Chain A
């Protein structure tokens, strides 16, 4: 289960006023130490006694007090019913990876080359996704060639991703259509678990239908398309026709991809190196197919406060005979 801690909110923030107990306790501590010294016993042999008692380390004097104050703070926070917003996986969520393996993916502007980086990043993505999320895959070049409908079996997906070879044209629209088909077989948006498409492409659509049109369909089906544009603007690949011909420029097409993402309600990312790509996939993996839920963590704070109190007592009771 992938749970990203996001924030702590409070169920009854009025009880945060109980935090005032911390300065009050500090004041009480100070007053009690003052009182203890004000009613000190006159003792002419105090200097000898000081030598006999040895120096009290600052550690002994301040750590138990600090622990007790921390315990009070934690208990005061527990009163305010702290809630932890966490991401929980959505049962039955499906994600389809749409991966480009056109000829331009052999460009080496991304270490080691675009396709390998994309495969590696996709593997990271799969690891980040909650276990309960179904994952499908559509790889395409001249057209969608390998397609797996969403499944829980990660190995099949990885095999499919690994079997790609960089060749052919870029049929982004067709591939997206196949992906939509696998997520919404009957073309309806109703009563369908959360789904998303993650599109990785490195170039302009060269064949097949217009991906922007497919994005509108996705919008209607309420399936967001997250797009990742891979590659640098001045990347080239050797001309497949003849090594003597000038190399072919294979710049990515971030504008179209951004358009697709905007229309369908997803987000567009651009990446020009493998590390960045992995980062994007990692954050997508922990974000997709999860929803944020507020979970009450009062007991954690209460237990933490009691543990701190116990620690303060154990440190100070045997020596001082009282809580600090």
Chain B
């Protein structure tokens, strides 16, 4: 899909650390967890409509002109004396949509890596899992200008598209789109017709009105919300007076962090914000995986999903 309108430039953040090692053993363990989570959307649990290529017999019917001769069922033809074709239940493959927040606030991290690095790692790990068993991966990046949507692709093509989308980096500072998450979720809801897994990777910061869109996605799909945060975002050390700037809104502020009252209020407000987010996701019955930049995100993702 081609982006419309002027795009704010994306750039890999200067402090990029990369997502770090992704051991196969961990990925396999994660695959189990994810499979269990999305089992409701997989074939077997839910019968697919129509017929198609598969292994399970759907019906036998007389051969009609145009049918593939390879589908002629020998046994049925012999019994009835008429050529019959064998039709099978189509084997649905799992389509995974990965929505990645690439807003400027993701280019922040004070521990092992940036929030954007964790988001990239989660997207790659879940993308690899999604491509197993002939699955397909669609990628959506949002938060910096027009959301970018890469249609679901399978196998290596899907992985390449995912890698390329992630390699573009995150939006540069000074661009704020408070409705980006809601728009991206709405768009995925319109294009994802078949039930699948939807992974939303974001910091869920300064975003409005996304709960309704996420709720309507939850009705059809398995949804996993990965919240990425940095420890510095929930508490400030007493480092005296600092000037801070919001990377997205560009609002500047001078704060005296040595005043305990300010630090305590900040911690309380941030804790309340994250608590509200968790409560909201729980209400929508969306899997919530909070990941921090100061820990082994892959391990924690697996633990959260187990």
Residues of chain A at the chain B interface (Cβ within 8 Å): 36-37, 39-53, 56, 319-321
State whether B256 touches A41 (Cβ < 8 A).
no
Q: Of the candidates B205, B254, B266, which one forms a contact with A52 in the assembled complex, judged by CB atoms under 8 Å apart?
A: B266
Interface size on B, residues (CB 8 A): 35
State whether A43 touches B262 (Cβ < 8 A).
no
B282 at the binding interface (Cβ < 8 Å): no
CB within 8 Å for A44 and B203 given contacts A37-B243, A49-B244, A51-B269? yes
State whether B266 touches A49 (Cβ < 8 A).
yes
B249 at the binding interface (Cβ < 8 Å): yes
Q: Measured between C-beta atoms, what is the minimum distance from B102 to chain A in Å?
A: 13
State whether A43 touches B269 (Cβ < 8 A).
no
State whether B252 touches A45 (Cβ < 8 A).
no
**For A47, A48, A320, A321, which residue has the most chain B Cβ atoms within 10 angstroms?**
A48
Q: Measured between C-beta atoms, what is the minimum distance from A41 to chain B in Å?
A: 5
Residues of chain B at the chain A interface (Cβ within 8 Å): 105, 107-108, 173, 203, 205-206, 230, 232-234, 236, 240-249, 251-256, 262-263, 265-266, 269-270, 273
CB within 8 Å for A319 and B266 given contacts A40-B244, A43-B245, A45-B205? no
State whether A46 touches B266 (Cβ < 8 A).
no
In the bound complex, residues from chain A placing their C-beta under 8 Å from that of B256 are 53, 319-321
State whether A43 touches B241 (Cβ < 8 A).
no
Q: Measured between C-beta atoms, what is the minimum distance from B240 to chain A in Å?
A: 7
State A148–B43 Cα separation when bound (angstroms): 130
Q: Measured between C-beta atoms, what is the minimum distance from A274 to chain B in Å?
A: 64
State whether B233 touches A41 (Cβ < 8 A).
no
In the bound complex, residues from chain A placing their C-beta under 8 Å from that of B108 are 42-44
In the bound complex, residues from chain A placing their C-beta under 8 Å from that of B270 are 45, 48
In the bound complex, residues from chain A placing their C-beta under 8 Å from that of B266 are 45, 48-49, 52-53
State whether A52 touches B251 (Cβ < 8 A).
no
CB within 8 Å for A44 and B105 given contacts A39-B243, A49-B255? yes
State whether B105 touches A53 (Cβ < 8 A).
no
Q: Of the candidates B107, B246, B254, B265, which one forms a contact with A47 in the assembled complex, judged by CB atoms under 8 Å apart?
A: B246
CB within 8 Å for A46 and B244 given contacts A37-B252, A52-B266, A53-B262? yes
State A36–B244 Cα separation when bound (angstroms): 9
**For B244, B245, B249, which residue has the most chain A Cβ atoms within 10 angstroms?**
B244
State whether A320 touches B173 (Cβ < 8 A).
no
Given A37-B243, A45-B232, A48-B269, 8 more contacts at CB 8 Å?
A37-B254, A39-B243, A41-B242, A41-B245, A42-B247, A43-B108, A47-B206, A49-B266
In the bound complex, residues from chain B placing their C-beta under 8 Å from that of A43 are 108, 232, 244-247
State whether A52 touches B243 (Cβ < 8 A).
no
State whether B253 touches A44 (Cβ < 8 A).
no
Q: Measured between C-beta atoms, what is the minimum distance from A87 to chain B in Å?
A: 52
State whether A40 touches B243 (Cβ < 8 A).
yes
State A47–B270 Cα separation when bound (angstroms): 10
State whether A46 touches B262 (Cβ < 8 A).
no
State whether A48 touches B243 (Cβ < 8 A).
no
State A39–B254 Cα separation when bound (angstroms): 11
In the bound complex, residues from chain B placing their C-beta under 8 Å from that of A37 are 243, 245, 252, 254
In the bound complex, residues from chain A placing their C-beta under 8 Å from that of B242 are 40-41
Nearest opposing residue in chain A for B15, CB measure: A42
State whether A321 touches B105 (Cβ < 8 A).
no
In the bound complex, residues from chain B placing their C-beta under 8 Å from that of A320 are 241, 256
In the bound complex, residues from chain A placing their C-beta under 8 Å from that of B246 are 43-44, 46-47
Q: Measured between C-beta atoms, what is the minimum distance from A132 to chain B in Å?
A: 59
State A50–B269 Cα separation when bound (angstroms): 11
CB within 8 Å for A49 and B241 given contacts A43-B108, A44-B203? no
State A47–B273 Cα separation when bound (angstroms): 12
State A271–B252 Cα separation when bound (angstroms): 68
State whether A41 touches B269 (Cβ < 8 A).
no
In the bound complex, residues from chain A placing their C-beta under 8 Å from that of B205 are 44-45
State whether B249 touches A44 (Cβ < 8 A).
no
In the bound complex, residues from chain B placing their C-beta under 8 Å from that of A48 are 266, 269-270, 273
State A44–B248 Cα separation when bound (angstroms): 8
State A50–B243 Cα separation when bound (angstroms): 11
In the bound complex, residues from chain A placing their C-beta under 8 Å from that of B203 are 44
Q: Of the candidates B107, B234, B247, B251, which one forms a contact with A50 in the assembled complex, judged by CB atoms under 8 Å apart?
A: B251
State A1–B212 Cα separation when bound (angstroms): 84
Q: Measured between C-beta atoms, what is the minimum distance from A50 to chain B in Å?
A: 5
Q: Measured between C-beta atoms, what is the minimum distance from B206 to chain A in Å?
A: 6
Q: Measured between C-beta atoms, what is the minimum distance from B179 to chain A in Å?
A: 16
State whether A36 touches B253 (Cβ < 8 A).
no
In the bound complex, residues from chain B placing their C-beta under 8 Å from that of A321 are 240-241, 256
| A/B interface sample: 26 pairs, CB < 8 A | A36-B243, A37-B245, A37-B254, A40-B243, A41-B243, A42-B173, A43-B244, A43-B246, A44-B247, A45-B232, A45-B233, A45-B270, A46-B244, A46-B249, A47-B206, A47-B246, A47-B249, A48-B270, A49-B253, A49-B262, A50-B251, A52-B263, A52-B265, A53-B262, A56-B254, A319-B256
State whether B245 touches A42 (Cβ < 8 A).
yes
Nearest opposing residue in chain A for B205, CB measure: A44
Q: Measured between C-beta atoms, what is the minimum distance from A316 to chain B in Å?
A: 11
State A319–B262 Cα separation when bound (angstroms): 13
State A240–B269 Cα separation when bound (angstroms): 97
State whether A53 touches B240 (Cβ < 8 A).
no
Q: Measured between C-beta atoms, what is the minimum distance from A48 to chain B in Å?
A: 5
State A188–B37 Cα separation when bound (angstroms): 124
Q: Measured between C-beta atoms, what is the minimum distance from B214 to chain A in Å?
A: 21
State A145–B157 Cα separation when bound (angstroms): 129
Q: Measured between C-beta atoms, what is the minimum distance from A52 to chain B in Å?
A: 4
